[in-house]
Structure 1
């Protein structure tokens, strides 16, 4: 893929399709968009999958990580800019779980599955992840959620790209899944911080807002 590209890295329980509205808008504006599939069984395996996506591009991409996806992009090398969207920014020896992990509301939405994985209860997931999103969009997003292998949130990155790569942290101030106060603490590790009055999933409810930020960071001189 030629030209400026955004690599969109989803969080636990999510799929690449959760970024469809963002990816469509990016491509319509002439930018590339890649959304790797995680759920590889461990943070190390998820990181390897995203690293392969980054390595396949002709130019260093902008790398966005949402929620647990922040732990993934922390371990990936070769990005031109990192965007942490309501996500975890681990330092040496830290995991997403050790930093604070899911909120009590999100933990209450998790249910065990017979195979040892977990899933999210649809009624509770909608309220925690998409409470500020229009009903049809929230319903589609909840329908896309999938079971999650255990242990990924306890994975510790082997590398910490935010220490040598420009980074932007987006605090979602109405988030019910990751405490906004924790987000502000993690954001202090990044180059700059933005704060939006959104819930956990602006890529569902406010895709144009997210695309505007990505274009601002990726295209010199662009500002909506």
Structure 2
């Protein structure tokens, strides 16, 4: 078993594990073990259970890092015994019994909400379910305003949809009550109101770093800054 925590990077909606590539490179350069598993994006309870199962199968301590919706997942999955820390990156930090919709509803809505496109997907034995993506023409300004246009065009075309039901599911636990946490606030986030990020981080008692001008895609645009905060968590818990 290793004493250096393994970092598990959990992407959010409208992205995939490749969004962590720059962060992975930074962590690997510091010899920190890291994996970026796929997030199913099918529902809060089931996605959190998947993240928890990944963490539980790792020998030694684990730090869970969640971007965006991934923050809600690490909040629940973080109760797994070998998880020693939580890092929120432009993310939701829910309280037990709280939903994404409930937390968002306390603050002015971000431009994301009015720029969601609905799709459907088949559910065995039931009616089709609804999933959402960001309208491609709105994606650059909403998700990744600090990235080159060519990059945002690719990200918009390859985004992963989130099941709409995930907005209403409530968190079964809030691991930040018992695990130390860190949070990076993206100051120019147009997908999650930065006030939502600040509120959740303060409530969790997180060590906070704020990046003025950073978009929601801060892990892509500023991977070193994101990795630096994760390394701080690694040093504090290792």
TM-score normalised by L of structure 1: 0.90
Q: Tell me the distance in 2 between the aligned counterparts of 1:139 and 1:208.
A: 23
Q: 2:182 aligns with which of 157, 168, 172?
A: 168
Q: 2:99 aligns with which of 91, 95, 107?
A: 95
Please, which runs of 5 or more residues in structure 2 have no aligned partner? Answer: 122-129
Residues 139, 26 of structure 1: alpha-carbon distance in 2 compared, 3 angstrom cutoff: farther
Alignment of 1:108-119 (within 5 A): 108-115=114-121, 116-119=130-133
Q: Tell me the distance in 2 between the aligned counterparts of 1:144 and 1:16.
A: 12
Deviation at 1:114, TM superposition (A): 4.4
Deviation at 1:69, TM superposition (A): 1.0
Residues 104, 171 of structure 1: alpha-carbon distance in 2 compared, 3 angstrom cutoff: closer
Deviation at 1:170, TM superposition (A): 1.5
Matched, 1:43 2:58: no
Alignment of 1:9-88 (within 5 A): 9-39=10-40, 41-76=42-77, 77=79, 78=81, 79-88=83-92
Instruction: Give the count of matched residue pairs.
Output: 221
Partner of 2:113: 107
Alignment of 1:133-212 (within 5 A): 133-191=147-205, 192-197=207-212, 198-212=214-228
Q: Do the aligned partners of 1:39 and 1:149 also contact (CA within 8 Å) in 2?
A: no
Deviation at 1:153, TM superposition (A): 2.0
Deviation at 1:185, TM superposition (A): 1.3
Q: Tell me the distance in 1 between the aligned counterparts of 2:113 and 2:71.
A: 19
Q: Secondary structure at the match of 1:51?
A: helix
Q: Tell me the distance in 1 between the aligned counterparts of 2:229 and 2:71.
A: 17
- CA offsets 1:159-214 (integer angstroms, 9 cap, x no match): 11000000112211111111112221111122322211111111110111111221
- CA offsets 1:103-151 (integer angstroms, 9 cap, x no match): 4410122111244322221221111110012334333332331222221
TM-score normalised by L of structure 2: 0.85
CA RMSD of aligned residues (A): 2.1
Q: Tell me the distance in 2 between the aligned counterparts of 1:89 and 1:40.
A: 17
Q: Tell me the distance in 2 between the aligned counterparts of 1:194 and 1:104.
A: 21
Q: Tell me the distance in 2 between the aligned counterparts of 1:140 and 1:59.
A: 37
